[in-house]
A and B are shown apart, each in its own frame.
Chain A
Amino acid sequence: MLFRPDSADFRLILLYTARVVFGIGLAMAVPLAVALAHGESADAWSFVLAGSIGVTVGRLAEMTLQTRRQLDASHALASVAMSWLTAPVIAGIPLFMSGHYASFLDAYFEGMSGFATIGLTLANDLDHMTRSVNFWRHFMQFIGGQGIVVIVLTAFSSGAGRLGTLYSGEGREDVILPNIVRTARFIWRVALIYGVIGTGLLWITVTLAGLSPLNALYHAGNLFMAAFDTGGFATQSTSVAFYRSQLVEGVLMVIMTAGAFSFALHYQLWQGRREELLRNTETRTVFTSTLVLLSIMVIGLVRTGTFDQFYPLYRHALFNAISAHTTTGLSTVPGRLFVTDWGALAPAVLVAAMGIGGMAGSTAGGIKGIRIGLVLKGLKGDVRRVLLPEDAVVVETYHAQSRQILTSPQVRDAALFLLLWLGLYLSGALMGLFYGYPLEEALFESVAAASSGGLSVGLARPDLEAPLKITYILQMVVGRLEFISIFALAGYLTSAVRGRV
């Protein structure tokens, strides 16, 4: 039986949503500073306007929506979903005012693609976008990759106990340190430290590729945010191919891999525990899957004659396989070539790689390596049970920081999520088919949107049908939040209509 939520429930959800909007408004001070530094006065005003709206909404909510009702799990999950649906509205204002987007829906799409670290873009004439607006696209990925709700609430809220559900509602499961606030701060510490190291390395390599040092610094910062947060936006329409540099690609592959590692694994690596790389079930699953898929991709590329020399084959196959599997979306070739020049097998592998994705508790999307690993181990256990004598005790284990016994509920949960993900991928593909796009392209773009893979074969463009844009937006947010928060919000809305008082 559904109980109808009262006004205090909705006030609480709106209050937490408004706090996130307030945080997004404050975050606009950063692109505002970039705009002022580059003399982009029109964009500076758009950031002032959008930032002011965010801050005003946040303060008004604090004054009018306070309630004695305590935040429970359902409030928290619904707040997370509401926050993720609302943040791109504020973030989209300066994008829309930049004149690079055909409609506010396109700007909202870009905002969602940024925060959810997808990488699909509807920007017109990206190569002539102002620095501040282009920076804002990348900065949204940096904020969203670590988690907009968690950062805002750890900065502005007290009471770590209440943050637990908000934290897990954003698609994170690992509580690395004893409480959520410390865990969230560790996540941001990793992002900032890697940011300094990664941006520094990219600055050097991009400068060596021929850009002026100041220009290279701008590109390096944006590239780091796109790679570590597995976002996939690029400052140029040609993505990574713009730099024509194997060094840049090499550094990016390391940063993309770092982005696809869980923060819990980073915590182990920061202590120098390198054995965790080899023992961890999820790391092994992701690396094995990458190598298997890469092999199939190489077979496809060689059979179609796309590359017949070792070096171009190796370079493009490796970079794009890592980009797809980490769900980043940076590319060394124009996306359209995936369906026109890469045959059938190689793009299918990219779809599979994006679909599987990175590690749980990382900035990457997709089904996640641990779920694939647990389902395969569960399957292996079932096969052993069939083959061994009836009284044999079959125990499967997995390694995540320590050796643990695999339980049936864990396998069931992983399989359930696997089904939900496949359903999400299929739903977007069916919408693409409905609008007359070929199966290969419809599936590619759907998986790219839902998994945050971000590689595109060109369907995501300004003249895409509006219902398909909305479908991709929904796939982005459902995929980023891993279903539960969106289900909670849908449950609230259903209860408001059909629930009993």
Chain B
Amino acid sequence: MSPRRGPARRLRQVADANPLQGGLTGIALVALATLGLALFAALICVVILLLIG
């Protein structure tokens, strides 16, 4: 790798040169975060239904 190619340069290349790959990675991570939130929400619903339902 050329010494002038720092991390910032590589970051820009992924966003600029391969946006579809970046977009797929991005939306997959958002989906993962939403799934995590949904799992916590399910747990909350179960606990509250058990306690006061």
Binding site for B on A (CB under 8 A): 177, 186, 189-190, 193-194, 196-198, 253-254, 257-258, 261, 266-267, 269-272, 274, 277, 283, 287, 290-291, 294-295, 298-299, 302-303, 308, 310, 313-314, 317-318, 321-322
Closest to A309 in B: B49
CA distance A193 to B44 in the complex (A): 34
Given contacts A254-B27, A269-B29, contact A302 B40 (CB under 8 A): no
**A198 contacts across to B, CB distance below 8 A:** 27
**B40 contacts across to A, CB distance below 8 A:** 291
Closest to B44 in A: A295
For the complex of A and B, 7 pairs with smallest distance between CB atoms: A193-B23, A270-B22, A269-B26, A258-B30, A314-B45, A270-B26, A269-B29
Contact digits for B1-41, partner A, Cβ 8 Å, 1 yes 0 no: 00000000001101100011011111101111110011011
- Find B53's partner among A258, A283, A290, A308 (CB 8 Å cutoff): A308
Given A193-B22, A193-B23, A194-B27, 8 additional A-B pairs, CB 8 A = A194-B23, A254-B31, A270-B25, A271-B22, A302-B52, A313-B45, A317-B45, A318-B38
Binding site for A on B (CB under 8 A): 11-12, 14-15, 19-20, 22-27, 29-34, 37-38, 40-42, 44-46, 48-49, 52-53
Distance of A156 from chain B, by nearest CB (Å):
22
Given contacts A295-B48, A302-B53, A308-B53, contact A197 B24 (CB under 8 A): yes
CA distance A196 to B26 in the complex (A): 13
Contact B34 A254 (CB under 8 A): yes
Contact A271 B15 (CB under 8 A): yes
Contact A261 B30 (CB under 8 A): yes
Contact B38 A253 (CB under 8 A): yes
**B25 contacts across to A, CB distance below 8 A:** 269-272
Contact B33 A257 (CB under 8 A): yes
CA distance A186 to B23 in the complex (A): 11
**B11 contacts across to A, CB distance below 8 A:** 267, 271
Contact A314 B29 (CB under 8 A): no
Contact A294 B53 (CB under 8 A): no
Given contacts A190-B26, A269-B29, A270-B26, contact A303 B52 (CB under 8 A): yes
Contact A302 B23 (CB under 8 A): no
With contacts defined as CB atoms under 8 Å apart, how many contacts are there between chain A and chain B in the complex? Answer: 96
**A314 contacts across to B, CB distance below 8 A:** 41-42, 45
CA distance A299 to B52 in the complex (A): 8
Interface of A is mostly: helix
Contact A318 B14 (CB under 8 A): no
Closest to B21 in A: A270
CA distance A277 to B32 in the complex (A): 10
**B44 contacts across to A, CB distance below 8 A:** 291, 294-295, 298
- Find B20's partner among A186, A193, A298, A317 (CB 8 Å cutoff): A193
Closest to B30 in A: A258
Given contacts A271-B14, A313-B45, contact A254 B30 (CB under 8 A): yes
Distance of B3 from chain A, by nearest CB (Å):
20
Contact A291 B37 (CB under 8 A): yes
Contact A287 B49 (CB under 8 A): no
Closest to B23 in A: A193
Contact B48 A298 (CB under 8 A): yes
Given contacts A254-B34, A302-B52, A310-B46, contact A291 B23 (CB under 8 A): no
**A269 contacts across to B, CB distance below 8 A:** 25-26, 29-30
Distance of B24 from chain A, by nearest CB (Å):
7
- Find B27's partner among A258, A274, A287, A291 (CB 8 Å cutoff): A258
